[in-house]
Amino acid sequence: MTRTEFEAIYGVMDASQDIEPITTLKRAAAELIARAKERQGPIVITQNGKPTAVLQDVGAYERQRQALVLLKLVAHGEQDYEAGRTKTATQARTRIRKRLAKHRE
């Protein structure tokens, strides 16, 4: 799989591909926002030639936040597993059924 194929499948984008100076943001903010929305990727804003901010549309931001939450849940699950805080499938089903029954009362 090529890098471009990987990026297309997994939504990864090379931030170095879309860089604009802060003067462009000041002059053409609406156009940059439209471009970020269209491309579904971030635009790196530079100041004095150095990256200082990232502009991205709300949809891409929300997807990124959701992915981060899922990664955190996976990390917590791995920590629980390593610490021995696990249940068998039968134990988990029993626990869930008890909780559901309690909420139905």
> What is residue 104's predicted lDDT score, i.e. its pLDDT?
86
Is a pLDDT exceeding 60 seen at residue 9? Answer: no
Distance CA 4, CA 64 (A): 19
Among 63, 68, 13, which residue's Cα sits nearest to residue 43?
13
From CA 11, how far away is CA 5, in angstroms rounded? 10
Residue 90, pLDDT score: 96
The more confidently predicted of residues 104 and 82 is: 82
Q: What is the pLDDT of residues 32-84, one digit of tens each?
A: 999 999 998 899 999 999 999 999 999 999 999 999 999 999 999 999 999 99
Q: What does the pLDDT read at residue 105?
A: 77
Alpha carbon 9 to its chain's center = 14
pTM above 0.95, yes or no: no
Judge whether 25 and 55 are in contact, CB under 8 Å.
Answer: yes
| Nearest residue to 43 (alpha-carbon basis) of 26, 23, 25 | 25
Instruction: List C-alpha distances in Å: 2 to 6, 10, 17.
Output: 6, 12, 17
Domain at 1-56: CATH architecture: 3-Layer(aba) Sandwich (3.40)
Parts of the chain belonging to CATH 3.40.1620.10? 1-56
HSE (side-chain half, CA atoms, 13 Å) at 65: 7
